[in-house]
């Protein structure tokens, strides 16, 4: 009974870890827009906008 | 465009980010957080794409960048809430730390990736690629949050349960 409970908990932790990794990957993709304007600021200041 | 105008476009983005962060974070108490997160991500992708395609002067640049900031504000705190809801208090701190770390890493990559691509293909192409990247992230999150049910918290004398 205890081992089943432990196994279930381990499985859940593993599932949550996997979920968090995918969530972090999502954010990595989404955050590419975050300060992209700063990277092109010199170009924009020269030629607009 | 003057340096001041170029800087103002950046500032108005931050302003949109702050305002939407406050409003959309508050809305997560009343609406499905998953919906807010995904909608905000697609919104910022669309606004960033419009910036790449149609920003030709100071005014258009400022409006479109503000719209991008509004979208980005809806991904940070709602995302944090989704992580907090997913993990038990015993592991929540570590999970949030990892999540915030990925946010900061993403912000750093934003500069590096856009700067690198601008040197190769020009800033408009770089912005379009960033929008595509946001769409990929939002699509992955659609699958990730499948079956998500908001936690129902009951207010007691000692505070909120759950």
The answer to whether the Cβ–Cβ distance between B110 and A31 falls below 8 Å is yes
| Average pLDDT over every residue of B113-130 | 94
Two tokens, residue B76: 């940070």
What 3-state class would DSSP assign to B160?
A: strand
Residue B154 has pLDDT above 80, yes or no: no
Each residue's pLDDT tens digit, B85-119: 999 999 999 999 999 999 999 999 999 999 999 99
Query: In whole numbers, what is the pLDDT of chain B averaged over residues?
Result: 91
Q: B119 or B158, which is more confident?
A: B119
Give the CA angle between residues B69, B144, B38 to the nearest 5°.
25
Residue B126 has pLDDT above 60, yes or no: yes
* Start-to-end CA span in chain A (Å): 66
How high is the pLDDT of residue B149?
A: 78
Does pTM surpass 0.80? yes
The answer to whether the Cβ–Cβ distance between B114 and A31 falls below 8 Å is no
In B55-122, where does DSSP find H-type helix? 58-86, 89-121
The answer to whether the Cβ–Cβ distance between B126 and A39 falls below 8 Å is yes
What 3-state class would DSSP assign to B1?
A: coil
Quickly state the pLDDT bin for B2 (edges 50, 70, 90): confident
Task: From chain B, pick out residues whose CB is under 8 angstroms from the CB of A35.
Answer: 107, 110-111
Kindly indicate whether the ipTM for this predicted assembly is greater than 0.90, answering yes or no.
no
- CA–CA separation, A22 vs B102, rounded Å? 11
Quickly state the pLDDT bin for A1 (edges 50, 70, 90): very low
Backbone φ and ψ of B77, nearest 5°: -70, -40
Distance from CA of A34 to the nearest CA of B (A): 6
Each residue's pLDDT tens digit, A5-34: 666 666 666 889 999 999 999 999 999 999
| A30 touches B131 (CB < 8 A) | no
């Amino acid at each position: 009974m205890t081992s089943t409970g432990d196994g279930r908990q381990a499985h859940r932790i593993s599932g949550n870890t996997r979920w968090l990794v995918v969530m972090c990957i999502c954010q990595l993709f989404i955050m590419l827009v975050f300060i992209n304007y700063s990277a092109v600021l010199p170009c924009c200041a020269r030629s607009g906008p | 465009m003057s340096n001041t105008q170029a800087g103002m476009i950046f500032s108005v983005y931050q302003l949109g980010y702050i305002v939407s962060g406050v409003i959309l974070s508050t809305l997560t108490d009343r609406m499905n957080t998953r919906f807010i997160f995904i909608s905000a991500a697609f919104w910022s992708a669309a606004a960033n794409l419009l910036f790449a395609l149609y920003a030709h002067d100071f005014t258009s640049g400022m409006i479109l960048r503000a719209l991008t900031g509004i979208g980005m504000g809806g991904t940070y705190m709602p995302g944090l809430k989704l992580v907090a809801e997913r993990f038990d208090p015993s592991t929540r701190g570590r999970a949030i730390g990892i999540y915030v770390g990925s946010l900061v890493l993403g912000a750093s990559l934003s500069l590096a990736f856009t700067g690198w691509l601008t040197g190769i293909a020009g800033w408009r192409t770089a912005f379009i690629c960033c929008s595509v990247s946001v769409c990929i992230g939002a699509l992955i999150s659609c699958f990730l949050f499948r079956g998500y049910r908001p936690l129902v918290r009951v207010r007691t004398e000692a505070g909120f349960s759950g």
